[in-house]
Structure 1
Amino acid sequence: MTDAGSALAEDRSEEPAEPERKGKREIWIFYWLFGVFYTALSVGVCLLGRATPPPRPDVTELQAVAWFDKHQMGIQVGFVFLLVIAGGAAISNGIIGYFMKRMSSGKMLAYAYIAAMGVGAIPGFQVLLVCWLTATFRPDRDPDVMYLLYDLGMLSYNGSLGCFTAAYIVVAIAILYDKNRIFPKWFAYVTIWQVVTEVLASQMWLHHSGAFAWNGMITLYIALVVFGLWIVCFLALFRKAAAAETARTPALYELEGTR
């Protein structure tokens, strides 16, 4: 009896539990990093850089210069901070790509999403930071140049469409065709609304004021509400998917490693 009990204890001690613990640790670390990054992003863009809510598009050259002068310190502190942590965007892209690769719709859609978001980060984020930091770096520039940097930053930040549209379409398609039920089907339709807001944002290139300008109700604020809803839904679904992922047995990790 003693020998049998000792053998059973040895068998249990040899079970490969480490892959499960490792999987849990990595997934939950990235879950919290996702939330921390978007919180920091909101502070840098909204409270310090003042890009959201955005300044008015229907201003003169001198008004644009005065706006940069008024918010110079906030732009410099906030946007330099964002340049330092900008790589955090890869965390959110990687997390979504990680779960997309586990969908039955295939890995190619996951790679397409990551690539589209990586390309979209340049016009949709980096151009704004560089333009406004350049404007505040030498505030005595010609007003026409400052005016150009003012417009270019905002139009690129709010009006960049193609890459993000492609990324959200890929996510929606992957969820709708997924048979593994990583995310529920209704999240695909929430994602499609992201595509709708990106298309509506194209009007800001044509209007200097009103609902279709870059600070308008249709092109901006509806998009903010939809994006906020999307983030909240994704965080909740990510938590659920992460719990399901880390509940798998070590044998499943070993099986995936052999594929």
Structure 2
Amino acid sequence: MSSTTSTDPDVERAQPPAAKSREKLDLRIAFWTIPVYYLLFGIIFVPLAHVMPPPKPGLSTQQIVDFVESHSLTIKIGFGILLVVVGFATVANALIALQIKRMSVGSVFAYSYIVALAVGALPGCLFCALSFLTATLRPDRDPRIIALLYDMGMMTFVGSLGCFATAYLVLALAIFLDKNEIFPKWFAYITIWQIVTELMAAPIFLFTDGPFAWDGSISFWMGTAIFGIWECCLIVLLYRAVKRQPADERVPD
């Protein structure tokens, strides 16, 4: 007497609740790193490091020294935390790159996006943090050196242009060329405005006052407002894309 095993397709396709709860767990984890990271980013740069809103570029050497000394402890705490958590940005960027690879475009767009942001993070984030941390390390340092570190930190933070502009251009082109409708076309137009904001920041190397200085209404505030809108749209669209993505989908290499 031989035993038989059920081959009912419905039974084979059935999944226990525990298995269903594990579907796309990696994608969900990657997604939630984005709002968590940007929440930490805001806490670090605003109330701790006091880099946003930016301090004025036209300060005297003594005013810069006073600024660094008065915020020395919170700068160390904030940027110290940043050096620990900045790696989470790579998870967020990888999730965006994965959605680009799901589009009907070549994988070169996804790889270009990752590399452009990885290179841009060096001056746009890490160099700023290290400049301010170095400025606070030795209070007896020559005031002119502290002023130099202050200028270098702020210029790299606001003025890191090319790499980020390239990343936004790659993303916008991928969305325009995509036929799989991973992201809506209107998001590509918002992404183009991100490129415009990077170009708006170019004059910070020439001005220490006015709308084109690193704390100006055009170079900083307009760009920050557009980035905030773009980031909110991105989070919503990524959530929808992850939710729609089949758990067994094979993404091209």
TM over 0.5: yes
Structure 1 residues 112 and 185, CA gap change in structure 2 (3 angstroms): same
Give, in angstroms, the shift of residue 91 of structure 1: 1.3
Structure 2 partner of 1:198: 198
Partner Cα separation in structure 2 for residue 14 and residue 185 of structure 1: 39
* 1:23 to partner: Cα distance: 4.3
Contact between 1:127 and 1:156, CA under 8 Å: does it hold in 2?
Answer: yes
1:31-180 matched pairs, under 5 angstroms: 31-180=31-180
Deviation digits for residues 207-241 of structure 1 (CA, Å, limit 9, x no counterpart): 00011000000000000100000011001111111
Q: Which AA in structure 2 matches 1:167?
A: A
Structure 2 counterpart of 1:102, which letter?
Answer: R
Matched with 1:7 is 6
Considering fraction of residues, name the structure with more helix.
1
Is this contact kept in 2: 1:20–1:249, CA < 8 A? no
- Consecutive unaligned residues in structure 1, runs of 5 or more: none
Deviation at 1:144, TM superposition (A): 0.5
Report the Cα offset of residue 22 of structure 1: 4.4
Query: How many percent of aligned residue pairs carry the same amino acid?
Result: 40
If the length of structure 1 is used for normalisation, what is the TM-score? Answer: 0.91
Letter of the 1:241 counterpart? A
Letter in 2 for 1:7: S
Alpha-carbon distance between aligned partners in 2 of 1:114 and 1:14, rounded to the nearest angstrom:
39
Counterpart CA distance in 2 for 1:16 and 1:129 is: 51
| 1:249–1:29 CA distance, 2 compared to 1 (3 A) | closer
Q: Shift of the alpha carbon at 1:14?
A: 3.6
Taking structure 1 as reference, are residues 179 and 258 closer, same or farther at Cα in structure 2, changes over 3 Å only?
A: closer
- How well do the aligned residues superpose, as a CA RMSD in angstroms? 2.1
Task: Report the Cα distance in structure 1 between the residues aligned to 2:223 and 2:23, rounded to whole angstroms.
Answer: 35
> Aligned equivalents of 1:170 and 1:60: distance in 2?
40
Q: C-alpha distance in 1, partners of 2:252/2:64?
A: 59
Q: Which amino acid aligns with 2:133?
A: L
Cα 1:182–1:142 change in 2 (3 A) is same
5+ residue gaps in structure 2?
A: none
Q: Residues 203 and 76 (structure 1 numbering): CA distance in 2 closer, same or farther, change over 3 Å? A: same
The TM-score normalised by the length of structure 2 is 0.93
> What CA deviation, in whole Å up to 9, does each residue of 1:63-109 have, x standing for no partner?
10000011001100000000011111101211110100000012110
Moved more, 33-42 or 22-31: 22-31
Question: In 1, Cα distance between the equivalents of 2:74 and 2:29?
Answer: 30
| 2: CA distance, partners of 1:97 / 1:257 | 11
Q: How many residues align?
A: 249
